[in-house]
Structure 1
């Protein structure tokens, strides 16, 4: 990938089913990945454990959307226990920043006061959302962010949540691994849908954040 590669070029890659990765944070090379097996999280059968549902209902965090996109990406790129390196290098960080400015990349953030304690970011294209990375600095913060993301996607009419690779962390939510041809079929169907990553409105009105109970209700009604 050369310096002339733009955010619009990256969107075209997603539409073909490939995504970028780097070998290390300080390595400026970027590779396009098209794995034989793909991790996806089915929205209609998204699973939330009883413990996690109780946690979400307690609203341990204030969940915000797109208020600190660059900070979320930066924190996702930091080293963490069990992960000394990251695939998010500076060219990738720059491209996603551009996608965010264009309205195609979004962050879901878990705050406590002025402290950002967890979140995730990804790319929205038609009826598909491509989850890129998540981080957590407090117990369950990234999980709460994921649950609120799923509620938003269901409300917006999305049909595909791409997790890229299957992990034990995602398997608890019902994630599954599918073949490349099956992924291409699901992607084609998603690109024919006009998903809307709109701001959700809670029971208290547009000025209030969606509560955990309201997010759970959206997910339950979709299953």
Structure 2
């Protein structure tokens, strides 16, 4: 990752973050208590091509059983807190956490939450602007919770007409789902296309993925 100059840091609010994402940069802080955060970019950018998404067989079986419930933006504070408490989550400073909460109030943050027996068990959150979704962090308090959330998210992104799922960097965890690295130039082209789109409601499409038999039918079409 490369530390770059981004929108003014004099007032690092949600509006500046939206500007940064649209400039192909993303925010990270040095630690949980950091007063400032930095802007970064990557020469090679991680994405998950939405129509080349792969779901491992064991996860398909688990999703088809449906022994979990899915919610959208019902546990945002809990999601942010658990993601920040992860060993690699200290980049989410208290100030960044507040900015994400502001983005949620503005309708630009999406929290995909998985629960078992009414208890929050994990998921993921990210920021979305037009046809671009910028994945920020995932957490699993129960096995596979973040993977289940990711699978529902991709189904919803397809339904809503998105064309970018940005993962920023690469991880072995996400490579199993078809994540790949592309050049910054190629990323910029995809981002520009995504920002020109006017997709339908992502939240509504996520809720649609919870309808009876939807995921079983969708998963049958996925590699």
Fold shared per TM-score above 0.5: yes
CA distance in 1, matches of 2:219, 2:58: 16
Which residue is equivalent to 2:169?
A: 165
| Equivalenced residues, count | 214
Contact 1:107–1:119 (CA under 8 A) maintained in structure 2: yes
Match of 1:71 among 78, 89, 99: 78
Contact 1:128–1:195 (CA under 8 A) maintained in structure 2: no
CA distance in 2, matches of 1:63, 1:164: 25
Match of 2:184 among 180, 187, 206: 180
Q: Per-residue deviation at 1:3?
A: 4.7
Contact 1:43–1:161 (CA under 8 A) maintained in structure 2: yes
Match of 2:116 among 92, 112, 117: 112
Which residue is equivalent to 2:69?
A: 62
Which residue is equivalent to 1:198?
A: 203
Provide the aligned C-alpha RMSD in A: 1.9
CA distance in 1, matches of 2:185, 2:14: 26
Residue deviations 1:23-48, cap 9 Å, x none?
Answer: 11122220001111111000001001
Residue 145 (str. 1) matches residue 149 (str. 2): yes
Distance change in 2, residues 1:216/1:11 (3 Å) = farther
CA distance in 1, matches of 2:13, 2:43: 26
Runs of at least 5 residues in structure 2 that lack an aligned partner in the other structure:
1-7
The normalised TM-score by structure 1 is: 0.89
Which residue is equivalent to 1:217?
A: 217
The normalised TM-score by structure 2 is: 0.89
